[in-house]
């Protein structure tokens, strides 16, 4: 548990540093303009194109074309994850419930990507992800090199950790936001409960309503432009 918590704290710190650096550069470039006020998402001033990728889902390949046209929140994990994944997907499911009020073409999406293709088949992942919300997209990539290339392009990390006769997976707890052109546009970082410390066993969480408001705002702004 210590190793997992320590890894996630380091990843969160890296994302925080990147977000603050990007904000400083944006403010400097625009002569003191203020960044939009987001509650849960840290936006990147210049969205970063995502290299070509192909994931496998129970409904077929997931590529740029699959995601193009809507805002997408990407979260990586695995089906047998004991804590972070079900907690995060539950919260994202609540955000998706709030998005149901938006017109279907504007509705943001959630993509859950399993980083454990050895155990998680596309069919298994689909059933797991849809348990939290029926509209959740899910996929994996059986080729380890291709899977790592995809997650690295999102600045997300994972590793296999031996656990007796089996194993578990350590992975980033942050979520990446892709814009309708499938570019990396921002990050959503879960927060530890107030007063919790690394190694305490506490789980970092997101505010589903804040996530819902941030993405709904982006989706509505895009529709109006």
Mean pLDDT of 182-204: 85
* Residue-averaged pLDDT of the chain: 86
179 alpha carbon, distance to own chain's centre = 13
Q: How confident is the model over 128-175, as pLDDT tens digits?
A: 999 999 999 999 999 999 999 999 999 999 999 999 999 999 999 999
Q: How confident is the model over 66-88, as pLDDT tens digits?
A: 999 999 999 999 999 999 999 99
One DSSP character per residue, 170-183 reads EE---EEEE-TTSE
Cβ–Cβ under 8 Å, residues 137 and 62: yes
Tokens of 30: 């625009």
Cβ–Cβ under 8 Å, residues 204 and 12: yes
One DSSP character per residue, 48-116 reads EEPPP--EEETTEEE-HHHHTTS-EEEEEE-TT-SSHHHHHHHHHHHHHHHHTTS-GGG--EEEEEES-
pTM above 0.85, yes or no: no
């Amino acid at each position: 548990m210590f190793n997992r918590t320590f890894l996630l704290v380091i990843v969160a710190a890296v994302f925080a540093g990147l977000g603050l650096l990007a904000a400083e550069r944006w403010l400097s470039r625009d002569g003191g303009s203020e960044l939009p006020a987001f509650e849960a998402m840290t936006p990147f001033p210049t969205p970063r194109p995502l290299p070509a990728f192909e994931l496998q889902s129970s409904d077929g390949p997931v590529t740029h074309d699959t995601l193009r046209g809507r805002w997408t929140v990407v979260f990586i994990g695995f089906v047998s994850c004991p804590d972070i994944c079900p907690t995060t997907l539950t919260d994202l499911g609540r955000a998706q419930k709030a998005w149901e009020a938006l017109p279907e073409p504007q509705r943001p999406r959630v993509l859950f990507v399993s980083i454990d293709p050895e155990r998680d088949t596309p069919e298994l992942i689909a059933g797991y992800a849809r348990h939290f919300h029926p509209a959740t997209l899910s996929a994996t990539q059986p080729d380890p090199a291709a899977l790592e290339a995809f997650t690295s392009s999102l600045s997300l990390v994972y590793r296999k950790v031996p656990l007796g006769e089996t194993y578990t997976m350590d992975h980033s707890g942050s979520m990446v936001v892709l814009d309708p052109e499938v570019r990396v546009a921002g990050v959503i970082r879960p927060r530890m409960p107030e007063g919790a410390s690394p190694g305490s066993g506490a789980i970092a969480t997101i505010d589903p309503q804040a996530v819902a408001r941030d993405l709904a705002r982006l989706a509505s702004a895009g529709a109006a432009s």
